[in-house]
A = this chain, B = another copy of it.
Amino acid sequence: MNSEPHPWVVIMAGGVGSRFWPASRAARPKQLADLFGQGPMLRMTSERLLPVAPLERQLVVTGEILSQAVADALPGIQPENILAEPVGRNTAAAVGWAALHIAERDPDAVLAVVPADQYIADIPAYQETARRAVAAAREQDAIVTLGIPPTRPETGYGYIERGAEISDGVFDVGAFREKPDRETALGYLADGGFLWNAGMFFMPASLAIRELERFEPELLAGLRSLFGDAARPAAEVYPSLKSISIDYAVMERTDRVRVIPGSFGWSDVGSWEALYDHRGERSSFQAGDVIEIDGAGNVLSAEGGLVAVVGVSDLVVVHTPDATLVVPRTESQRVREVVDRLRADEQEELL
């Protein structure tokens, strides 16, 4: 039915972070954690894109120390489809490396660049939107982002100001907007012309390379030196690369960017509290082996064991075999204080 060639999926899995301690650790950051009791988020991301691009067309860019865990999380992935960065150099380098790598194998490739650690509730709607974005990127030789119609005055996301409609459901981008304050966010929400920047973008590999060449020639030259007969090792090249996001490097400078609005229950799952939005019909969010008696408003997560709560409300309770966290749901960002304490106490094995 769909005669379009498959795109190449590039899953950005370099993230570190401690907002999901103890489920996430240095050696197993959020994208490798099993926050929903449905396997690592990376695997959820890969699987929901399988109808868009088969596993042999999915690349993961990650850190060297995570590459084995990435391979374990994605059974069947080819080793050459894991690009292991010796050090993190932000997203422009990651996208550029993946684009060059894929362009070598398929010069006409269209890339679908997605973060490894987002949640999507309505997977069929998402897949349909992704297919439209691939087609638009190819047909218009454009960088197509997905924009989420906001449902609340969120101050934790960047926004995209929608411009004129260029083709059916595909809009020009007026501007990218930084995370707003609450008043500004309320204005965006009321205006209706602003979308959440979901950090997913679709573009021909050749365009990605061209725009990087144009805006960050030195970065691209560094990445190019990883290829060819006189290829230099990544460990030698990477540390000297400029650390800049793909947003700053390309998206906010190029005139070839478009946005497709799409509602598919997207969430970047930024904190334990955010999981509460994914509780479905229940009065609490539950993942893993959970017994909840006479409770509500909780976020309950069990991995490698059981969480049993009785008569408590509005708590985050997370069990892992070697650590348990309890914090009020609305203060879940205070997990950082625990991580800071562990660091101060040099309890490295728990970080």
Contacts and interface: CB of A to CB of B under 8 A. Distances in A.
Interface of A: 22, 291, 293, 302, 304-312, 315, 317, 319-328, 331, 334-335, 337-338, 341-342, 347, 350
Contact of A311 (B304, B306, B319, B334): B334
Contact of A324 (B307, B328, B331): B307
Given A331-B311, A335-B310, A304 B291 contact: no
Contacts of A323: 305-308, 319
B324 A302 contact: yes
Contact of A309 (B302, B322, B326): B326
B305 A322 contact: yes
A84 to B, nearest CB: 30
A328 B311 contact: yes
Contact of A293 (B307, B312, B321, B334): B334
Q: Which of A302, A311, A337, A341 has the most CB of B within 10 A?
A: A311
Given A22-B308, A293-B338, A306-B350, A321 B324 contact: no
A322 B304 contact: yes
Nearest to A325: B308
Nearest to A298: B326
A317 B52 CA distance: 45
A291 B342 contact: yes
A347 B289 CA distance: 11
A337 B319 contact: no
A338 B308 contact: yes
15 contacts: A291-B338, A291-B342, A305-B320, A305-B321, A305-B323, A306-B323, A306-B324, A306-B350, A307-B324, A308-B323, A309-B325, A310-B334, A311-B334, A315-B326, A319-B324
Contacts of A338: 291, 293, 308, 310
A122 to B, nearest CB: 32
A323 to B, nearest CB: 4
A147 to B, nearest CB: 35
A350 B317 CA distance: 19
8 tightest Cβ-Cβ pairs between the two chains A and B: A319-B324, A305-B322, A306-B323, A308-B338, A310-B327, A310-B334, A309-B326, A321-B321
